[in-house]
Chains A and B, each alone.
Chain A
């Protein structure tokens, strides 16, 4: 199914769009795609003198389903595992989803590729884990409960190539997906 990217500028009649065509299921397979880029024009809204962008990228249905399924985490209340584990809040889950959506889209903008969808799974102490398992690389990002805390991440190639650190969730981090798909 083609993935459509539409970029339009608010308050402008000059709405432009261009389209990428993608192999079916490329999200899941982490395969490369051959973007067909159709002519685009100057999108800036000169009438209002500013570049107010409305940027809509339609995520593949596979990742939409993963996000939709992740709402089940909200059914896990305190002591959901019989071991006293904390339940999951909508705020923490929304942070995880936002991190996923924004960085996946930014990665797509940069590379024209969709990265393999992660698993969204229960983390310790009310936090949420995003786990990418590719053939040669794996990455775990832990989204904390605390609004102001940094997210922890670790990734490796099942060998000697590793990355580890903390992420400020208010910033862009598509680089980490570039590392993952390298």
Chain B
């Protein structure tokens, strides 16, 4: 990719406002479900924020399949969804569209804010599993 194309993509993928009625998708490795199906520990920041995909630009299957580019197997992952309004309702959490240009992920969205025990417990109440580990990879 030459520099002109890269510049064009950067301009195209500007940060947008994430609507309250949309969803955020997150991959969950199958090991999170051992031995119990509780994933309070999943909700943590990697760097400044918690990485998710915005449903406006991604489907659950696309979120799941995106691990292929990192050399991982989609069959090892489930996908959860969280309503943006519910995420924003948790104290100190903000939802910011942060397109991931190097990894060609326009849907990438960060959830910023501290993830202490209170916040993690509250996150654990607002998700639904939309793609099970057992589901076939499309």
Contacts and interface: CB of A to CB of B under 8 A. Distances in A.
B34 interface: yes
Given A82-B67, A138-B121, A122 B32 contact: yes
Given A76-B31, A81-B29, A154-B121, A140 B46 contact: no
B118 A82 contact: no
B1 to A, nearest CB: 27
Given A80-B29, A82-B29, A82-B76, A119 B38 contact: yes
Contacts of A123: 40-41
Contacts of A73: 34-35
Contact of A81 (B31, B116, B118, B120): B31
Interface string A132-162: 0000001011100000000011101000001
Contacts of A76: 31, 34
Interface of B: 29, 31-32, 34-36, 38-41, 44, 46, 67, 70, 72, 76-77, 115-118, 120-121, 124
Given A82-B67, A83-B29, A120-B36, 12 more contacts: A82-B77, A121-B36, A121-B41, A122-B31, A129-B38, A140-B117, A140-B120, A142-B117, A153-B117, A154-B117, A164-B117, A164-B118
18 contacts: A72-B34, A72-B35, A81-B32, A82-B72, A82-B77, A83-B29, A84-B46, A121-B40, A121-B41, A123-B41, A124-B41, A131-B40, A140-B40, A140-B118, A153-B117, A154-B117, A156-B121, A162-B118
